[in-house]
Structures are given as structure tokens and as C-alpha cells.
Structure 1
């Protein structure tokens, strides 16, 4: 059984049921974009690519399920933990890694463990890549500059 594909199926069902047709393309683009970017960064840093991809798929689950964004990292970690325990494909340590990254991903100014940092960097990079002509927030500029440099990309953001 491919755990990433199982998570994708679950997420797809949640997104299809809970979002209007106008929202769906942006929601899918963001979650799959962050998931793929997490995979890229995990490869670069020598981390577990599967776990990082799953972290990316689940990171905004609370927002897209409830349409409530305040404290969505903490709420998302709670929701992700419920999902992961219910499907019984992950051990306790893996669930802790996934939920930690989700709970901390909104605090882009802090530095946390290596998996937490993958998600923060992937989220920022995906926001930027969605449309590079959009203004990069002050909150994300420093982190974006560092991840682009790590990937060998010269940019003047």
C-alpha cells in the first residue's frame, strides 16, 4: 500500500466535498504544490521524502475542511492526527513528526526541527511560485531568499 496515495485520496475527497468549484483549483494547486515542494526540499536535505510529501498534503487540512483560518496550524495538526490514527498506516513517531510540522508552519520567523522547516520553506516557495509577479510578504522574504539560494536559484526578491 502506498501511504502517500492513500493520503491523497482522503484529501481529494475532503476537498471535493467541502469547497466550491471556484475554490477547488486553488486549493488543489496549493496542497499538491506544497507537497511536491516538500519532496524536493527533502531530497535536497536528505530527509524522508514520503513523510515530507504527506506533511505538505495535510498542512492546511483544517482551513480547507472548516473554512476557518485563525490558528489553522494547531487545528490542522489536531485534524491530521485524527486522520492518521484512523487510517492506521503510521506509527506514533511519524504522526508526531507530521503533526509538529503542521502545527508550526505558520510561524515563519521561528526555526524549529528539520521537518518543521521543510514545510515552512515549501509553503513559502509555493506561495511565490504560484505567481512570481505577486508581492512577497515581508514575513516570507527572508525565508524565501534562503530557500532559493539553497536550491541554487539567484533571485532579487
Structure 2
């Protein structure tokens, strides 16, 4: 793990500790889960795992900090989250402007799961969808994420078994 990612993890952990206990656990579970899957998918696709893990760790931080959200706010949480992510990444001082731009673009676009975009954007979208599927979340049931979880599991060489038969 790179020093800059460790600094980011510390910054995110500090922000999560300001949450109430009932907010901190789901936020931590989702953000760290997406970050781990981002790293795994990035390695499989030959992309920079630190950039992808960083985007995963930050992608819904704004959302969790502002719950409950209106429908419009939820729809725009990628945009708002990318602004907050830029501030956090710049304050750390270890990320290059190019890395910050890539991470923030990934976060900005992660809600557009119905659109295929940049390779880095797709890592975050796929990791987010896979995390919701693995955790059996209401998001996966509601949005289905256009079969992304099936595609990434196939790509990683996993079979779904009974869980997929129930979906």
C-alpha cells in the first residue's frame, strides 16, 4: 500500500469517526468494500490500483455525511462527492493533479452505471455494483446496475450459484 493511500485512509477514518455509530458502520462497510473491489478490479485490468482504491474510498463519503438526501441531492451525489474528494486529496498533498483529476472524474461519473465511459470510471462503477450485490443491498435489488455484477464476477472467474438464481 502506498504512503499516499495510507494518508487518505487516515483522513477518511477521521471523517467517519465524526459520524454517529449507526452512520459510521454502514458508511465504513460500503466505502472500504468498494475500495477493496476497486483495487482488485484495477489489478485485473492493468490499471493503477492506488488511484482506483482511492476513488472507491471517497466515492460516497459526501452522501453518507449528508443523509438523508432529497431525490435531487441523491441524483447529484457523485458531483458533490467529487468536489469534497478534490478538497481532501489536495489537503493530503501527496496526489498529483493528474491523479486527483482521474479520481474526481471517477467519483463524478459513478452514478452513470448505464453508460460505458473511461476505463477508470468503469472500475468504480463495477466495484460499487459488486459491493451492493455481495451485501445484498436494497440498491442492487432496486437498480440491478445493468448486470454489472455478473460481468465483473465472470471477468474475475467466479460463478454465482444460488444467489443469482434468486435475483
Residues 1:134 and 1:13: Cα distance change in structure 2 (over 3 Å): closer
| Cα offset, 1:129, TM superposition | 1.0
C-alpha RMSD over aligned residues: 1.9
| Cα offset, 1:135, TM superposition | 6.0
Q: Does 1:112 align with 2:117?
A: yes
TM norm structure 1:
0.91
Aligned to 1:13: 14
Unaligned stretches of 5+ residues in structure 2: none
Deviations 1:48-77 (A, max 9, x none): 111111111110121122334521100000
Unaligned stretches of 5+ residues in structure 1: none
- Counterpart pick for 1:103 among 105, 108, 127: 108
Write the mapping of 1:58-73 to structure 2, written as runs, cut at 5 A.
Answer: 58-67=58-67, 68=69, 69-70=73-74, 71-73=76-78
CA contact (8 A) 2:85 2:104 kept: yes
| Cα offset, 1:141, TM superposition | 4.2
Write the mapping of 1:1-150 to structure 2, written as runs, cut at 5 A.
Answer: 2-17=3-18, 19-67=19-67, 68=69, 69-70=73-74, 71-131=76-136, 136-150=141-155
Cα separation, 2, equivalents of 1:133 and 1:62: 20
SS of match in other structure, 1:86: helix
Cα separation, 1, equivalents of 2:137 and 2:41: 19
Q: Which runs of 4+ in 1 moved over 4 A?
A: 132-135
| Cα offset, 1:150, TM superposition | 0.8
TM norm structure 2:
0.86
SS of match in other structure, 2:10: helix
SS of match in other structure, 2:95: coil
**Larger deviation: 19-28 or 103-112?**
19-28
Cα separation, 2, equivalents of 1:40 and 1:2: 19
Cα separation, 2, equivalents of 1:134 and 1:76: 18
| Cα offset, 1:25, TM superposition | 1.3
Deviations 1:1-22 (A, max 9, x none): 71111111111111111x2111
